[in-house]
Amino acid sequence: MTAGDSFDRRRFMLAAGVASVVGSQGHRMAQATAPVAAPSGVANKASGEATFGRVRGARMRSLLPVPMRDSVHLSTTVFLPEAAGRYPAVLIRTPYGRLGQLDGWQEWTAAGYALVVQDVRGRHDSEGEFQPFVQEAHDTPDTIAWIRQQDWSDGRVGMAGPSYLCWSQTMGVARGDGPVPDILIPTFAPCDAWPRGFVSHGALSLFLTFWWYCFDTSSRVNNGIFKSMFDIGEVMRRLPLETLDESAGGGVSEAWREHMAHPTRDDYWKPFDLSGGFDRFTMPTLQIGGWYDYYPAEQFKTWNGLIVAAKTPQIARGHRIIIGPWGHNHGLEPTTDGRVAVDFGADGKFYARRLYRAWFDRQLKGIAPADGLGDRPIRIFVMGINKWRDEDEWPLARTQYTNLYLQSSGHANTQRGDGVLQAAAVPAESSSDRYDYDPDKPMPTRGGNHSIGPWDDSYKRLIWCGPCDQSINEGRQDMLVYTGAPLESDLEVTGPVTVRLWASSSAPDTDFVARLIDVHPDDRAINITEGVVRARFRSGDWARPQLIPPGEALEYTIDLQVTSNVFLTGHRIRLEITSSSFPLWDRNLNTGEHPNRSTNMAVARQTVFHDAARPSRLILPVIP
């Protein structure tokens, strides 16, 4: 073990019933080379009827030390059906504590599966040093190899899990150098952490990155309990951002500082992009995501990438994707005022284990599920009409991309302004709209499409994902609001949503945020999807940022992800334009300095143009 580890390896090995103790280690995963051939010493001891205790209707071993290729042991819990025999295994690998992933063990064992839940390297009861993401390229294959050598295993292994648990699956396939699972269920995660992940089109995903690095993975165990002791909103306003690790009470964090040192897409980010390994996904793969999560657009990119890279039509047919009206691995729950902003009905509920079981039963047992999966490659929940629908391609072939142009008489500020959305082309000359963006008074995040919550009560009043009435924010002068006329018939929008914004700024760097809104007849302004662009990355070249000429009108492309929503008769389509959503994204300080090391702020004077030469517009994927 490393010198700083307080983990007692001998106690762990003895508690697991393993007599031999291997020497300690402290090197990084990059130093591991040869795949494990046959970890028989632990494998034999860990198998067999006598080594498993009896629990209700099953057998269980709670602390198995599974060996990796470099003799590091990962703590693993295994549940087996009560009857002796060989079973397919469900493998879940987590950095958040395996004991939190044991719900449903009775369902799995009763259905004839072995459930294997493991702490990843360097976390909780597992040995080693935690090297996020990259270590799973070796440890996932080694764990699969170990399972297949057990006398309770029939050789088939499937993996499931959301977020980082998804990365432990996909990293093991795309970058692994050993055995791969027979089926996958990667859920609520991207294949690339830059476009939507720790970064969103150049803007730092501040809250996500902060709590993940500075609390939940800052030590061997989750330190999330400490969040309730801080005024998190006040802490995240502190500058420079690179010192937030100290503000969180944990001292200097090497992982956080390294992350803060790379605000552009340099070599540091290469391991976070798995798209080069899509051809290795030869097993049936079911992606699950949510319209109000951070990652549905990236998941569709992954699905399309898997289809293109598939070496045979049979492999391509094995890849499925389901996107529902959900947040990050959860259904929508009451917002900060205790109310549910939108009711998607009984069909919109999220039942993770039901989907997991259906996929495992279909792929490993040939059992056709009663519901949930569908028979076509894509299943989407169409919000507004609140119905599931199956499709064959993405974007949909019948999509009609439709422009709605921004227009005003120069006073689009707030929902009481004169900003409108119209299908007609803009006139040759038109007034522009202006607002001041002050990073010391940022627009607060209110709901949205991201991966934060509802995991911890300490920030439920600060940030929450999902639909939420935006009317409070729309009363601010630093918000431009453009609203269409009441619809005379239902209008379905399904696919990628984009804003082409002509704008100038007095600053050398700034942000522009766009949000698509469904305005209900009772004037509730419900967010559908959103996006941000950092001006220095306006060209899409994230490796070579370019500051902007102050005062020069430039066209910005703002990616608002993807959605599926029917704007019902009598509803209105609205577009919000502003320059921040804090603390979802970090505040652009408008100086052009290093975003994570600067403490200087400046107010930016923003101008949005909408004339014939500079036609700012919302581009909707309309489905006839």
Among 385, 349, 350, 516, which residue's Cα sits nearest to residue 448? 516
Strand (E) positions, 174-318?
183-187, 199-200, 203-204, 285-290
Which residues lie below 8 Å from residue 281, measured CB to CB, with a gap of 6+?
173, 174, 184, 306, 309, 310, 315, 319
**Which residue, among 585, 447, 472, 460, has the nearest Cα to 529 in the 3D structure?**
447
DSSP state of 596: T
HEC assignment per residue over 14-79: HHCCCCCCCCCCCCCHHHCCCCCCCCHHHHHHHCCHHHCEEECCEEEEEEEEEECCCCCEEEEEEE
Helices (H) and strands (E) in the chain, counts: 12, 24
Q: Please confirm whether the linkage preceding 284 is cis (ω < 30° from 0).
A: no
Residue pair 470/446 in contact (Cβ under 8 Å)? The answer is yes
- Whether 264 and 542 have beta carbons less than 8 Å apart is answered as yes
Concatenate the DSSP letters of all residues of 95-119 into one string: SS-GGGG-TTHHHHHHTT-EEEEEE
Half-sphere exposure (Cβ direction) of 282: Cα atoms closer than 13 Å: 5
Determine the longest span between alpha carbons in the chain, in angstroms: 84
Catalytic residues: 163, 293, 328
The SS3 assignment for 317 reads helix
The residue whose two tokens read 């020069």 is 552
Q: Write a three-state SS string for 165-197.
A: HHHHHHHHHHCCCCCCCCEEEEECCCCECCCCC
- Calculate the alpha carbon distances from 272 to 59, 170, 195, 220, 300 in Å: 38, 11, 11, 22, 17
Could you tell me the two tokens for 289?
A: 């995501």
* Alpha-carbon span 526 to 529, nearest angstrom: 10
Quote the distance between the C-alpha of residue 30 and its chain's center.
26
Please give the Cα distance from 502 to 248 (Å, whole number): 39
Q: What is the torsional sign of CA 24, 26, 27, 29? A: positive
Residues 6 or more apart from 272 whose CB is under 8 A from it? 133, 192, 193, 194, 197, 198
Do 116 and 78 meet the contact criterion of CB atoms below 8 Å apart? yes
Using CA atoms, how far apart are residues 161 and 96, in angstroms rounded to an integer? 12
Task: Give the H or E element holding residue 357.
Answer: helix 352-365
- 293, 325, 478 from 567: Cα distances, Å: 20, 15, 26
Give the phi and the psi of residue 575 in degrees, each rounded to 5: -125, 125
Q: Is the bond preceding 186 in cis, omega lying within 30 degrees of 0?
A: no
